[in-house]
Amino acid sequence: MSSDTVRLDRMGEDIDVLVVGASRGLGREFVRQLLHCPDVGRVWAACRRPASLTLPADTPTALLHPLTLDVTDEASIAAAAAVLEQDSNSLRLILNVAGVLHTPEGMQPERRLADVQAEHMLWSYRVNALGPLLVAKHFSQLLPRSDPAVFASLSARVGSIGDNRLGGWYAYRAAKAAQNMVTRNLSIELPRRYRGLLCVGLHPGTVDTELSSPFQANVPEGKLFSVERAVRQLLAIINALGPEDQGSCIAWDGQRIPW
Ligand SMILES: NC(=O)c1ccc[n+]([C@@H]2O[C@H](COP(=O)([O-])OP(=O)(O)OC[C@H]3O[C@@H](n4cnc5c(N)ncnc54)[C@H](OP(=O)(O)O)[C@@H]3O)[C@@H](O)[C@H]2O)c1
């Protein structure tokens, strides 16, 4: 085992993990690193087009299980959960990575109020806020009643209301703030039934993916992370989570993000 192999040993042995939004960017890297993790039994990689998920040639893919899932299509979420209900009895980690800031169809983060478009606002809510909620609705019932488990959603510092000093990005900021409320609500309700469950939001930092690529020019030197580094940092945080983290939003460096 190499010294930088990620571990999830706080959640047990041979655990199943689910990555939603696995096709590109951070999601694909979560899948890659989890396939190398000695504590993981199976990696369920859910995305809109599983055929588009390509991994480096040296990735051990025997434990990879692609699933078709669109977070804006509840029937597809229910169908994917039904597959796991049939084939998995050790789901311990649910990772919501799917997110949207801009689309090839023309959705762009708003610079000013005049840029706001109702359809873009609603689409951001559907993917960034409603997506994690529906994933929780259908997959949480597969979690263990008392063993340690984690439900984590990729959030963003710009979703913090208290930290907002720049303005702009109405749809993304508002949808990530809504996602944070969803995570907080889940952290209150779900542990009543799943006593070992921790629900958190995670901010990965600014990471070199298609999502951030149009906005990287002003990122300070050393603050644009590779996906490899960002995912390694977040998996270390997930493995170290404790009861004091329940319902919070945690940045890549372990700091709490204010609501
Ligand atoms: N990169 C950053 O600097 C940064 C910073 C803060 C937070 N984040 C958050 O981190 C997460 C991952 O971002 P990223 O940088 O990896 O973005 P990315 O490279 O643009 O990847 C976005 C992922 O979300 C998936 N997705 C979008 N709409 C979906 C839908 N309707 N159903 C299922 N999957 C869908 C995409 O799948 P398709 O291939 O099907 O489109 C893709 O796998 C997001 O939640 C983002 O808000 C990123």
Query: 228 falls in which pLDDT band (50, 70, 90)?
Result: very high
Q: Quick one: three-class SS letters along the chain? A: CCCCCCCCHHHCCCEEEEEECCCCHHHHHHHHHHHHCCCEEEEEEEECCHHHCCCCCCCCCCCEEEEECCCCCHHHHHHHHHHHHHHCCCEEEEEECCCCCCCCCCCCCCCCHHHCCHHHHHHHHHHHHHHHHHHHHHHHHHCCCCCCEEEEEECCHHHCCCCCCCCCCHHHHHHHHHHHHHHHHHHHHHHHHCCCEEEEEEECCEECCCCCHHHCCCCCCCCEECHHHHHHHHHHHHHCCCHHHCCCEEECCCCECCC
Q: In angstroms, what is the span from residue 253 Cα to ligand 1's centroid?
A: 20
Q: Is residue 2 over pLDDT 60?
A: no
Q: In angstroms, what is the span from residue 21 Cα to ligand 1's centroid?
A: 6
Query: 199 falls in which pLDDT band (50, 70, 90)?
Result: very high
* CB 156 near ligand 1, within 6 Å: yes
pLDDT computed for residue 4 by the predictor: 63
Instruction: Give this prediction's pTM.
Output: 0.97
Q: What is the residue-averaged pLDDT of the chain?
A: 96
Average pLDDT value for residue range 190-210: 98
Average pLDDT value for residue range 49-55: 96
Q: Is residue 150 over pLDDT 80?
A: yes
What is the position in ligand 1's atom list of the atom closest to the CA of 172?
A: 47
Domain residue ranges in the chain: 9-251
Nearest CA to ligand 1 atom 32: 70
Q: In angstroms, what is the span from residue 192 Cα to ligand 1's centroid?
A: 30
Q: Is residue 3 over pLDDT 90?
A: no
Percent of the chain with pLDDT over 70: 98
* Superfamily, domain 9-251: NAD(P)-binding Rossmann-like Domain (3.40.50.720)
Q: Is residue 55 over pLDDT 70?
A: yes
Please choose from 32, 47, 158 the residue to mutate so as to test ligand 1's pocket, defined by most ligand atoms within 8 A of CB.
47
pLDDT computed for residue 87 by the predictor: 92
* CB 206 near ligand 1, within 6 Å: yes
Query: 5 falls in which pLDDT band (50, 70, 90)?
Result: confident
